Structure 1
């Protein structure tokens, strides 16, 4: 195959490097989601075993002449043997990032007094994903009690990331031959692709990368978020935070999202959660979409648009989603089709704006649960100054039955109030029925 133009190379699993010839592919990517590469390849072997490729690493590389332009790595999650012709057999595969493995694991567990960087690192390590980055520019305080309840690891991580205003993407490092899952909370950490000129007349196989079409859009979305909560340790604390979005000139400011309970117990989380929510709800209030022949456009990158006739569009943009489509019909022996083509459809937002995911639903516990009161070895009664106890839940497979098995849990009494009440502390080892505030697993 000629090496002076655009070409695609694909390797998968335990097969030799020259096993597959790329016929065509579609790569879909967006911030805070798992990419999917659907690829069709031709092979001289009509009997490639599924065990040779499934759950194995695969790599798609895109070349311009002898220069590597793009590398996408992941694991093969689907394989189908297609038609067998006179010379070749077609195979279709789906490739996802290694992070996809987290969607195949559902669990119940709790984390106490850890921040999200620690929680993410622990979960990713369990899936043998060690190459990840946390590029934080804002504080992300520890969480007193953080529960994963009947969620996949992917759902749990995605939900926490959305709560904390984080977006994630696969960062490619061509020179270092590396690809890293990256979590970030500010657009300033994104790497730049440099400038791309606007050229509506360029062909898809052109070696000069440019923007072929560019359409600007805006829409009406909620203008503000108010979040509120309550904590018994500070009953007089207002615990209400409000945040307005940016660019409200063409919409009503009274479009409000009220969130209760806000699931925060301190000022830092309260103020941050309101900010992250409004920016999540408005993450595509002002955007542009278009097409390009560049394979380098990908979520997590910025570029400067130049030479557009509308001057205010010649600005710096960040990519939030894209679909890269490639065709290489000459990979089929005897094909008389056209040459290699490559096209990228993308969506971008102004680079000065930090894209954040919309809030994701949190699982609710729909009724009381059984637990055993815990405490230090040899203690009969173990409580804090508020009469709260620690417990071990029946679903907890990780924590030991001791004073660190849960956060402090309030105990309901027969009568309570200023100047009134009685108190009965359940003993260590006794069975108790535990309810949850607003069904929140983090608040037993």
Structure 2
């Protein structure tokens, strides 16, 4: 008969101080429950006894310990871990009784809850960061599939261990432990083929009892159940809005069940490319079918541990003699003879119960619920030092959350975050990029902390409103701020009764482009002040009707250049008062036609024509007596400068950085060089394509022949 024995060592406690009375342990691939408590890979309850009466929790709790199993004085198994709790029990005549719980160092990560951001990291990299921060250095990744880098991954109000479980399950990573003397190594794998195997096959022996020289399996049961037969995941990416991110997969070896209707569909599937989607969908299917075919059993082989493969032999049903993966194992051991002085009796025993799956199947951990953000959050827009506006081609910005303790509140603080606009269409809508320092309201799509989106902006104590409140509570304001300069543009509305007003302020240029008609109706006065020059070009006809006075006050010269005819009609008087000279010049003839009287007067002499005849009066009257005609100054008018033009909005969208208007220097240069003689005056283009005006062709001809100006009547409806 083989002899069994157990011992325990605790860092800082002398060897052989404690003896093991009994233990009960549970191991699993990744996390599970054991006696209603969470089990993170393994958990052992160990009962101890010692002659030492002054052993304190300070000597034991949170220390490394190791339970060793012997068979014929040879070590056959070790359980290395951390003492999570320690309890003092009864005190006898010779012994004091204690109990402790042995868990992996990984469990320490369940004691730290945090909120933080990870950017451009793979899941193994994130897990490594968390483990190293907690001082867990004995770990390894044995994975076949390359995990994609995650642009943005948020740990939100969850423990480090909860985050590890969630991310590992998403990527199809399961963990187990390899125990060696003095340490236990955390092993992450993504498939059964990456897990270690027990070297020798384990025999099936249903009739054996007691302690046999060869460990065996005494019970082995096969379980089959119907499960999900097909999975389908779907998601969306704004970068490819027309592409349907959809993945589906079907299970195998399902002849025993219906397959058509057992579909598991989920959206969003939390993937943004087909490669990740295919992997996530396969992982989901493997999880949902992990219990389709399972095996449970009992035995006494201590080498059977969760995460190990084994081969069963000598089963009466030859189909059972195959390879399996242990996904959970419970261990029990008792050593009553260790306390002979306390009347302990009986042999040392060991047994286990286990759950396994075929080694051809991948076991997937249970997906963990992702933390849900209860509502919007406040954040601050951030960017590089010295910059005021920082965005990408999609108008996304970077933000810093108040709870983020790790970033420097700069352009590395977050991923690019989309910004909701008031209206968004293909090259139309509203666009207002949040600027660095602005406070914004961040919502999360489907409550997912990994999918932030800015849905609003708010003022605060230092970012205040453009007008003092509540004094200006009747104002509605859109005010911008000059980028890298001083000033602003503004459109504001005053809604106070009897003071209603629309105010527009352009810090530099003001441009308006109307593709068809522009109609203004002003029921009172209009005031226009131009500090420099004013340029107007009408490419077809211009009509001006003034029903009162018209006054022009020009402090310098005035030029009127008409390439056709100039018609003036005055009902009463035409009076021209020139301080120096009036020069009339005609290329052909000048006709002065007066109904009653015509007088030409200069220096006391005059010629008068009326109904009574022609009267010539002068100090001397010279007829064909030599002399010469007086000369005028001649024409010296200036050609009107044309206004600068606007480019079409479409052209602006296509030509980044294009200048919209000419510089004022160019306009001034054009104006100064426009002085020409009367013979050199060039016609200004007045012809244009047919107008859509409501004025008839006949009315336009009337206007051109000198009749009354034609005024087009328009009516403004109530609807805009």
TM value normalised by structure 2 = 0.60
User: How far has the Cα of 1:173 moved from its partner?
Assistant: 4.0
Q: Does the CA-based 8 Å contact 2:52-2:96 persist in structure 1? A: yes
Counterpart selection for 1:438 from 431, 446, 455: 446
Q: Compare relative contact order (CA 8 Å, sep 6+) and give the higher one, 1 or 2.
A: 1
How many angstroms apart in 1 are the aligned matches of 2:68 and 2:177?
A: 15
Query: Within 5 Å, which residues of 2 pair with 1:337-376?
Result: 337-376=345-384
How many angstroms apart in 2 are the aligned matches of 1:46 and 1:58?
A: 20
Q: Specify whether residues 140 and 204 from structure 1 end up closer, same or farther in structure 2 by C-alpha distance, changes over 3 A only.
A: farther
How many angstroms apart in 1 are the aligned matches of 2:420 and 2:295?
A: 55
Q: Does residue 247 in structure 1 map to residue 245 in structure 2?
A: no
Task: Find the residue that maps to 2:420 and give its secondary structure.
Answer: coil
Map of 2:192 onto structure 1: 187
Structure with the higher fraction of residues in strand conformation = 1
Q: Does the CA-based 8 Å contact 1:298-1:322 persist in structure 2? A: yes
Map of 1:12 onto structure 2: 10
Query: Within 5 Å, which residues of 2 pair with 1:251-400?
Result: 251-253=257-259, 254-332=261-339, 333-400=341-408
User: How far has the Cα of 1:247 moved from its partner?
Assistant: 2.3
User: How far has the Cα of 1:65 moved from its partner?
Assistant: 1.6
Counterpart selection for 2:74 from 61, 67, 80: 67
Q: Does residue 154 in structure 1 map to residue 161 in structure 2?
A: yes
Question: In angstroms, what is the RMSD of aligned CA positions?
Answer: 1.3
How many angstroms apart in 2 are the aligned matches of 1:341 and 1:131?
A: 31
Map of 1:21 onto structure 2: 19
Task: Find the residue that maps to 2:197 and give its secondary structure.
Answer: strand
User: How far has the Cα of 1:172 moved from its partner?
Assistant: 2.4
User: How far has the Cα of 1:265 moved from its partner?
Assistant: 0.7
Q: Does residue 223 in structure 1 map to residue 248 in structure 2?
A: no
Q: Does the CA-based 8 Å contact 2:4-2:73 persist in structure 1? A: no
How many angstroms apart in 2 are the aligned matches of 1:384 and 1:315?
A: 57
Q: Does the CA-based 8 Å contact 1:243-1:274 persist in structure 2? A: yes
User: How far has the Cα of 1:358 moved from its partner?
Assistant: 2.6
Map of 1:417 onto structure 2: 425
Q: Deviations over 1:27-74 (max 9, x none)?
A: 101101211100001110123101000011111000112321111111
Map of 1:141 onto structure 2: 148
How many angstroms apart in 1 are the aligned matches of 2:162 and 2:136?
A: 17
Answer with 371-380 or 249-258: which moved more.
Answer: 249-258
Q: Specify whether residues 4 and 274 from structure 1 end up closer, same or farther in structure 2 by C-alpha distance, changes over 3 A only.
A: closer
How many angstroms apart in 2 are the aligned matches of 1:4 and 1:251?
A: 46
Q: Does the CA-based 8 Å contact 1:205-1:340 persist in structure 2? A: no
Q: Does the CA-based 8 Å contact 2:80-2:180 persist in structure 1? A: no
Q: Deviations over 1:96-143 (max 9, x none)?
A: 100000111100011111111111111000010111010001121101
User: How far has the Cα of 1:4 moved from its partner?
Assistant: 6.7
User: How far has the Cα of 1:312 moved from its partner?
Assistant: 0.3
How many angstroms apart in 2 are the aligned matches of 1:16 and 1:204?
A: 34
Answer with 165-174 or 28-37: which moved more.
Answer: 165-174
Q: Does the CA-based 8 Å contact 1:283-1:358 persist in structure 2? A: no
Map of 1:200 onto structure 2: 206
How many angstroms apart in 1 are the aligned matches of 2:27 and 2:251?
A: 26
Map of 1:213 onto structure 2: 219
Q: Which runs of 5+ in 1 are unaligned?
A: none
How many angstroms apart in 1 are the aligned matches of 2:231 and 2:408?
A: 40
Task: Find the residue that maps to 1:269 and give its secondary structure.
Answer: helix
Which has the greater radius of gyration? 2
